[in-house]
C-alpha cells in the first residue's frame, strides 16, 4: 500500500512517522492508490521543460504517463538533479545528506527516457521558430514548460568589509552555511521570522549555534499562525535558546555583526536572510509573455502562447504566485497533462503548513484572517491551542498547535464544512 501526505501531496511506499518532505505528522497520511491516466497519445513531439524542481519533475512524469515516445528534456542550471527543497532545513541541521532528499535517482530518468541537462542556463525563447537558446546551443520544442521557480529575496547589499550575508534556496546554499558552522561560526542572525526562517533557526540551534531571529512585523510565522499561536511559538523557541526580536529590522552591517534600527548591535558570524522569494520571470518577459508577480496562466497552466506553459513558483494563477511545494507539484501535473492534450483543469490546493521542531508541532491550513466567526479550544497545561476560523458559515482556516492529530481531517474539511461539523470533528 502507498501513502499520501495530505499536506505536501508526496506519495511514499511506506507510512512514515514524519513526512520527510514537509514535516507533517503520521496522522496527516492517507492510503493512496495510484490512478493511471485514461488519456494516451504517443507522438514524436519534443517537450522541453525549463526547470529542475518538483513542478518540472511532475510535469515530466505526467507527460511520460500519457506519451511513451515523445522526447522529454529538462534544462536547469542547478548542479543537482531534482530534490526535495523543503528538506533543506534538515540538511542544515546535519540530519540529511543529498542522497536522502533526491526525488528520483538517475536510473529513473534513464529508464523513462527523460533527458537531463543540468548546469545549463536557458538564455532566451524564440517563439517564432519555437526554440530555446542556451549557452552552447539551442533546442527546438513543440510544447514548452517554464518551471523556473523563484529566487530568495535579499534586500541587503553584500560588501567585502561586512559579515557574510547568505540565503538558503538550494542544496549548495545549505552546504555553504554548513561549511561556515564547521569552520567555527557560532553566532547567526536570521533576518525574517516566516516559517522558513524559523525552520532554519531550529536547524542551526540543533547544531549548537547561538541564533537570533529578527522580524520586522509584530509576530513570527504570521501567515500560518494568529497572534496568540505565534506568541506560544515564540515563547517555546526562546525557552530553547533561540532569541526572537520582533518589530525590528537590520539597518547597518559591520565585520562582526549588525546594527538594528533601535540602535542595538548584535554580534554575528554571518547573517541568513529569509524574507520570501521572487518568481523567476525574466525569460517570460523577454519572450513577450504576460506577467505580473509571476507568469500569468489559465486553468490548464497555459500562458498567452498556446504552446508555452508555466507551473510552480514562477506561475501566477488568478492573482496568486506559487509559494508551496504542494501547489508546484499539482501545477506541474496539470501542465504536463495539458501539454499532451489531456485538458483537466487545475484544482486550487489549500495553503497548508506543518512544523515540527524542538519538541513542538503545529499545523495550519487555509486562512485565519478576515474570519466572521471563530471557535477556540485551549489546554494550557498540555500546551495545546486549536482555532477554527469561519467565513460565511464555512470553515476557512484551521490552526492546530501542540496537537496535530486532526491535520488530515482539517485538510478534508477546510472550505467545505459548516460550523457545527467543523467543531465536532476538529475540537
Examine residue 346 and state whether it is found in any structural domain, yes or no.
Answer: no
Same domain, 29 and 115: no
Same domain, 176 and 219: yes
Spatial CB neighbours of 307, under 8 Å, sequence gap ≥ 6: 130, 141, 142, 143, 144
Helices 195-205, 227-239: crossing angle, 10 deg rounding? 10
**What pLDDT digit, counting tens, does each position of 382-427 carry?**
999 999 999 999 999 999 999 999 999 999 999 999 999 999 999 9
Helix (H) or strand (E) holding 232: helix 227-239
Q: What is the pLDDT of residue 281?
A: 98
CATH number of the domain at 259, please: 3.50.50.60
Domain hosting residue 383, numbered range: 367-426
Same domain, 182 and 95: no
The conformation of residue 26, written as its DSSP 8-state character, comes to G
Same domain, 164 and 268: yes
Examine residue 282 and state whether it is found in any structural domain, yes or no.
Answer: no
d(CA 348, CA 54): 17
d(CA 415, CA 350): 9
CATH number of the domain at 10, please: 2.20.28.10
Spatial CB neighbours of 235, under 8 Å, sequence gap ≥ 6: none
Please provide the average confidence, as pLDDT, over all residues in the chain: 95
Same domain, 169 and 269: yes
Cell output for 204: 542551526
Same domain, 296 and 388: no
The conformation of residue 25, written as its DSSP 8-state character, comes to B
**What pLDDT digit, counting tens, does each position of 290-331 carry?**
999 999 999 999 999 999 999 999 999 999 997 789 899 999
For residue 131, give the 3-state DSSP assignment: strand
Torsion of CA 73, 78, 79, 84, to 10 degrees: -90
Examine residue 353 and state whether it is found in any structural domain, yes or no.
Answer: no
Spatial CB neighbours of 49, under 8 Å, sequence gap ≥ 6: 56, 59, 60, 72, 73, 74, 75, 144, 145, 147
Number of domains within the chain = 4
Same domain, 30 and 49: no
Examine residue 354 and state whether it is found in any structural domain, yes or no.
Answer: no
Same domain, 57 and 146: yes
Nearest by Cα to 414 from 403, 402, 401, 426: 426
Helix (H) or strand (E) holding 239: helix 227-239
End-to-end CA distance of the chain: 30
Helices 325-340, 54-66: crossing angle, 10 deg rounding? 30
Cell output for 226: 494568529
Predicted confidence pLDDT, tens digits, the chain (427 residues): 899 998 888 888 899 888 888 888 888 899 999 888 999 999 999 999 999 999 999 999 999 999 999 999 999 999 999 999 999 999 999 888 999 999 999 999 999 999 999 999 999 999 999 999 998 899 999 999 999 999 999 999 877 888 999 999 999 999 999 999 999 999 999 999 999 999 999 999 999 999 999 999 999 999 999 999 999 999 999 999 999 999 999 999 999 999 999 999 999 999 999 999 999 999 999 999 999 999 999 999 999 999 999 999 999 999 999 778 989 999 999 999 999 999 999 998 888 999 999 999 999 999 988 899 999 999 999 999 999 999 999 999 999 999 999 999 999 999 999 999 999 999 9
Same domain, 400 and 315: no
Examine residue 66 and state whether it is found in any structural domain, yes or no.
Answer: yes
CA angle 126, 127, 128 (to 5 degrees): 95
Nearest by Cα to 125 from 292, 336, 295: 295
Same domain, 1 and 86: no
Same domain, 26 and 107: no
Examine residue 317 and state whether it is found in any structural domain, yes or no.
Answer: yes
d(CA 243, CA 268): 13
Same domain, 19 and 92: no
Examine residue 10 and state whether it is found in any structural domain, yes or no.
Answer: yes
Amino acid at each position: 500500500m502507498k501513502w499520501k501526505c495530505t499536506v505536501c501531496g508526496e506519495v511514499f511506499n511506506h507510512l512514515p512517522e514524519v513526512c520527510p518532505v514537509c514535516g507533517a505528522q503520521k496522522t496527516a497520511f492517507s492510503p493512496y492508490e495510484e490512478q493511471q491516466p485514461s488519456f494516451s497519445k504517443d507522438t514524436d513531439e519534443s517537450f522541453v521543460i525549463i526547470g529542475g524542481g518538483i513542478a518540472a519533475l511532475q510535469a515530466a512524469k505526467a507527460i511520460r504517463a500519457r506519451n511513451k515516445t515523445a522526447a522529454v528534456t529538462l534544462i536547469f542550471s542547478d548542479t543537482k538533479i531534482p530534490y526535495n527543497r523543503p528538506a533543506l532545513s534538515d540538511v542544515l541541521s546535519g540530519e540529511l545528506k543529498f542522497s536522502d532528499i533526491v526525488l528520483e535517482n538517475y536510473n529513473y530518468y534513464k529508464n523513462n527516457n527523460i533527458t537531463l541537462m543540468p548546469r545549463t542556463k536557458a538564455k532566451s525563447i524564440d517563439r517564432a521558430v519555437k526554440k530555446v537558446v542556451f549557452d552552447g546551443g539551442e533546442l527546438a520544442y513543440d510544447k514548452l514548460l517554464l518551471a523556473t521557480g523563484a529566487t530568495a529575496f535579499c534586500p541587503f547589499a553584500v560588501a567585502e568589509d561586512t559579515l557574510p550575508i547568505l540565503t538558503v534556496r538550494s542544496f549548495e546554499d545549505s552546504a555553504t552555511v554548513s561549511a561556515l558552522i564547521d569552520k567555527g561560526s557560532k553566532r547567526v542572525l536570521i533576518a525574517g521570522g516566516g516559517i522558513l526562517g524559523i525552520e532554519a533557526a531550529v536547524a542551526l540551534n540543533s547544531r549548537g549555534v547561538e541564533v537570533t531571529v529578527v522580524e520586522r512585523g509584530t509576530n513570527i510565522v504570521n501567515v500560518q499562525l494568529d497572534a496568540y499561536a505565534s506568541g506560544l511559538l515564540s515563547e517555546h523557541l526562546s525557552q530553547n535558546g533561540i532569541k526572537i526580536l520582533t518589530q525590528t529590522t537590520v539597518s547597518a552591517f559591520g565585520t562582526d555583526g549588525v546594527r538594528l534600527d533601535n540602535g542595538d548591535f548584535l554580534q554575528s558570524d554571518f547573517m541568513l536572510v529569509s524574507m520570501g522569494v521572487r518568481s523567476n520571470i525574466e525569460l517570460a518577459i523577454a519572450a513577450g509573455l504576460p506577467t505580473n508577480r509571476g507568469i500569468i496562466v489559465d486553468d490548464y497552466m497555459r500562458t498567452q502562447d498556446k504552446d508555452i506553459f508555466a507551473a510552480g513558483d514562477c506561475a501566477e494563477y488568478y492573482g496568486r504566485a506559487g509559494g508551496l511545494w504542494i501547489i508546484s507539484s499539482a501545477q506541474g501535473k496539470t501542465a504536463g497533462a495539458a501539454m499532451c492534450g489531456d485538458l483537466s483543469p487545475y484544482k486550487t490546493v489549500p495553503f497548508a503548513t506543518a512544523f515540527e521542531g524542538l519538541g513542538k508541532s503545529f499545523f495550519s491550513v487555509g486562512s485565519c484572517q478576515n474570519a466572521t466567526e471563530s471557535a477556540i479550544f485551549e489546554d494550557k497545561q498540555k500546551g495545546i491551542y486549536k482555532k477554527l476560523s469561519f467565513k460565511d458559515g464555512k470553515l476557512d482556516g484551521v490552526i492546530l498547535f501542540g496537537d496535530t492529530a486532526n491535520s488530515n481531517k482539517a485538510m478534508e474539511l477546510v472550505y467545505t464544512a459548516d460550523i457545527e461539523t467543523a467543531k465536532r470533528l476538529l475540537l
